Structure 1
Amino acid sequence: MTTPSSPASVRGLRSIVARLGVDAPSLWWSLLYFFCLLTGYYVLRPVRDAMGASGDVSAVFPPWLINWAAAHGWTLADYTLQILFTCTFVCMVALQPAYGALVSRFPRRVFLPVLYGAFIACLLFFHWAFEAGLAGRGALFYVWVAVFNLFAVSVFWSYMADVFSNADAKKVYGYIGAGGTIGALTGPGITRLLVGQVGVANLLLVSAGFLLVCLLCIVMLRSKAAAREQAQEGVASGDTAMGGSMWAGLRLVFSDPLLRGLAILMFFGVGVGTLLYNEQAAIVKRYYTTPEEATRFYAMIDWAVNGLTIVVQLLITRWLLRGYGVAPLLMLPAVAILIGFSVLAASPLPMLVAVVQVITRASEFSLAKPARETLYTQVDRQARYKAKAVIDTVVYRAGDLTFVWSHKFLAAFGSTAVFATGMGVAAGMTCGAWLVIRACRRLPAQPQAAQAA
């Protein structure tokens, strides 16, 4: 109950939650979960990006690889991102069966804490590696952060699809996304503030602290997720293993029209981001020569992206999702990116690259991402955890790998060639969005209806 002594901001928040008509504790724990997850990740992201843009190969690659490349006439500095993206894709493919086995054989109440506990243990290892100056730590850290980001965020949204129904998801996903965006704004701020005072290694401990809070949120949301699935699907999935094959996710992606459309959308969506990311990395390498300067630059880009994202999430996302469904949230980013690449192909100025980068990432986080995640509330658990993980990790990194090497070839012909090709990639993204919109029209309102059909 609201009392006269309650602050106006608290009364306002309670009023918003009451109007949403959802379980208030579940919403608050979900907001805290996503806030801490993205804060912890964005503390790490500028460090990772600075590694990828570093011109000092000895800080990134182990000595044996540097010596091997030199013996074969290769300059690793010319292929830093290509090598890192290739290694990331290989790790994603290798880990996918292990993740499939984990979610098949253990109930959610076991595999979620195990997954996050492994992430925290890795951060403690990297803290030691940076403190000790371990050779090759840069490449290892870059690949690990990419793997951590995709798996942790994918599992978060899978868990949210367990906690909230489709109707509730349309009401709250915009707000939950905004909570994550506040975390994404907080993380770079922490990095910019502390990196010069405590050093890179101790930033990893800060990130580990936020992941510990994520573990608490997982425990607090457990009963809500179990109760919803017991009522709607007749199974308390938190207490029972999912079963099925570790390869079930791959088969579902190929056989289901909706999942196949989501995979196509993801592949080409990653493509436009990768082309922009590589152009941005070339600019950073040219103008920012120290790790500290590069880290601050990437933190500023992240700040701009997330500032725009939270405005759209709070003012537009929920209104569009509830009033018009997922179609505008998927098509608007695709069309905006197509226009952006057209402008860059005509005038590839560095400032325009930065502007299109901000628009591309902000529209993905504020519009396309909530729309895609809402669709997973209408599919069964196999698709929600296994197929979704394939799309969010393997397909995502396959797009990275394809377009990072494509950029290396296209860069020889200049920025205009890169962005002209990007127009075709953006057109592929638009086609993927249309396929998803067409497939989702045939979705039942509840996942058990899909199982019965």
Structure 2
Amino acid sequence: MLNSTLRLLARDEPGQSRLAAWVGFAYFFFLLSSYYVLRPVREMLGVSGGTKNLPWLFSATFAAMLLAVPAYGWICSRFPRRRFLPWVYGFFISHLLLFYGLLQWDINNLWVARGFFVWLSVFSLFTVSVFWSFMTDVFDKQLAQRLFGFISAGGSLGAMVGPLLATGLVGAIGPASLLLLSALLLALTLPCIHFLLRWQAGQTTDHSVRFAGDQPVAGGVLSGLGLLLRSPYLLGISGFILLASANGTFLYLLQADFVANTFTDKTQQTQVFGAIDSVVNGLSILVQLIFTRRIIATLGAAWTLASIPIVMALGFAAFGWNPSLPLLLVLMILRRVGDYAILRPAREMLFAPLDRVTKYKAKNIIDTVVFRGGDALTSWLYAPFGALGIGLIAAVIASAWAGLGFVLGRRHQQTQR
């Protein structure tokens, strides 16, 4: 079935669009495999200081985002995409090498562990946000609807391979050496960026569009914030991301408590987190390659964006009344697979009709500051409540998340008519 799905894509798309889709697939594969090689290491280091300290780490990550976004906005305003996109990835590659040296020096140093947790949390959102900004810029609305599910599958494949590499190699080379592998995988995104810039320039004879990659993104350092605050549509997307983040953070903290209380060895913790990621991402790629395109086409944007939140509202209500590990694992898998395979491609389509400034600046604020702000706020709400309280609160949040997703999807569908 997987091979037939790939052949279907090859038959449906013209040659150049098909090649660009495969390069986008490879770009996302290398990016997420780079991150997911390290995600089990981050989770292990995160619980090493005690799960009670995780809210402080989430808050520190949010503060780091507040500093990073204006810096990114300044770079976008002064340099063309062909320069600032490689710079963003080069910045993170250099820091991977720095943290490799620090962790090799002392992997048990709590401050190095906390710094790495915060840094990787910034890395994961920032680089993926930049990726999707670039994708929504490179592909028009029609191509986005047809290809984003396929391109997302490249990320899910990378997200599946990364934990497999981590769990397979960590026993032999140790957690710190995984950072070198991550740096290599991240470096492989750079040729993909170069190809897609050239491909986009070759799609039109309009001089202003053809050489758009040679122009900085318009607007000032904080122009994205102004766009966000003036647009009800962008504020609605921000609310959707905030509610999604809150829902996911509850699950994340429940998972962290379970692993920390069950396993004490750092290598075992890394392997457990890697195994969970492998299962989630293996299911995600199957859904993306076989079902995502059909789900979006059948349900439309409104019901697609509301579907996973509705499932989570019902699931958390059940967990609140009868908390159990099997139900937690089911909820975790449904939430993450649904997000990666269904919600993310549908959500990114909301940005496809918007202008470049919105895609690179306002969208980046939504994907980073708003998302991590939701993490930080939710993490402080977690400790005072038991399973019943968390379940009921999360169910209410998921219900609001579903309603807002439906409204945003209807708005998007109306713009396509």
Shorter-chain TM-score: what band?
over 0.9
Name which of 131, 135, 138 aligns with 1:156: 131
The separation in 2 between residues aligned to 1:233 and 1:284, in whole angstroms, is: 54
Number of aligned residue pairs: 413
What TM-score, normalized by structure 1, do the two folds share?
0.87
Residue 158 (structure 1) shift: 1.0
The separation in 2 between residues aligned to 1:221 and 1:369, in whole angstroms, is: 21
Name which of 316, 329, 333 aligns with 1:358: 333
The separation in 1 between residues aligned to 2:52 and 2:205, in whole angstroms, is: 51
Q: What are the superposed Cα offsets for residues 377-421 of structure 1, whole Å, 9 maximum, x if unpaired?
A: 1100011111110110000011001100000222xxx21111111
Corresponding residue for residue 184 of structure 2: 209
SS at match of 1:378: coil
Gaps of 5+ in 2: none
1:275-314 equivalences in 2 (<5 Å): 275-314=250-289
Residue 233 (structure 1) shift: 7.3
Name which of 164, 183, 187 aligns with 1:189: 164
SS at match of 1:244: coil
Task: Indicate if the aligned counterparts of 2:250 and 2:394 stay in contact, CA closer than 8 A.
Answer: yes
What TM-score, normalized by structure 2, do the two folds share?
0.94
Q: 1:175 to 1:12 in 2, by over 3 A?
A: closer
Task: Indicate if the aligned counterparts of 1:107 and 1:242 stay in contact, CA closer than 8 A.
Answer: yes
Task: Indicate if the aligned counterparts of 1:162 and 1:228 stay in contact, CA closer than 8 A.
Answer: no
Corresponding residue for residue 114 of structure 1: 87
Q: CA RMSD in A?
A: 2.0
Corresponding residue for residue 325 of structure 1: 300
Task: Indicate if the aligned counterparts of 2:303 and 2:406 stay in contact, CA closer than 8 A.
Answer: no
Q: Does 1:180 align with 2:173?
A: no
Corresponding residue for residue 429 of structure 1: 401
Corresponding residue for residue 42 of structure 1: 36
Task: Indicate if the aligned counterparts of 2:308 and 2:339 stay in contact, CA closer than 8 A.
Answer: yes
Residue identity in the other structure for 2:121: A
Task: Indicate if the aligned counterparts of 2:24 and 2:192 stay in contact, CA closer than 8 A.
Answer: yes
Greater mean alpha carbon deviation, residues 247-256 or residues 185-194: 247-256
Residue identity in the other structure for 1:17: A
Greater mean alpha carbon deviation, residues 394-403 or residues 246-255: 246-255
The separation in 2 between residues aligned to 1:444 and 1:104, in whole angstroms, is: 30
Greater mean alpha carbon deviation, residues 112-121 or residues 301-310: 301-310
Task: Indicate if the aligned counterparts of 2:47 and 2:260 stay in contact, CA closer than 8 A.
Answer: yes
Q: Does 1:243 align with 2:218?
A: yes
1:372-411 equivalences in 2 (<5 Å): 372-410=347-385
Q: 1:340 to 1:166 in 2, by over 3 A?
A: same
Residue 245 (structure 1) shift: 1.5
Task: Indicate if the aligned counterparts of 2:202 and 2:210 stay in contact, CA closer than 8 A.
Answer: no
Structure with greater Cα Rg: 1
Q: Does 1:130 align with 2:103?
A: yes
The separation in 1 between residues aligned to 2:74 and 2:174, in whole angstroms, is: 38
Q: What are the superposed Cα offsets for residues 152-179 of structure 1, whole Å, 9 maximum, x if unpaired?
A: 0011111111221111111111111111
Residue 225 (structure 1) shift: 2.6
Q: 1:10 to 1:288 in 2, by over 3 A?
A: closer
Name which of 324, 341, 366 aligns with 1:349: 324
Corresponding residue for residue 94 of structure 1: 67
Residue identity in the other structure for 1:346: W
Residue 443 (structure 1) shift: 2.9
The separation in 1 between residues aligned to 2:5 and 2:242, in whole angstroms, is: 41
Task: Indicate if the aligned counterparts of 1:242 and 1:382 stay in contact, CA closer than 8 A.
Answer: yes
Task: Indicate if the aligned counterparts of 2:40 and 2:270 stay in contact, CA closer than 8 A.
Answer: yes
Residue 444 (structure 1) shift: 5.8
Corresponding residue for residue 69 of structure 1: none
Q: 1:12 to 1:92 in 2, by over 3 A?
A: closer
**Larger relative CO (CA 8 A, sep 6+): 1 or 2?**
2
Gaps of 5+ in 1: 1-8, 58-76, 446-453
1:27-106 equivalences in 2 (<5 Å): 27-54=21-48, 57=49, 77=50, 79-106=52-79
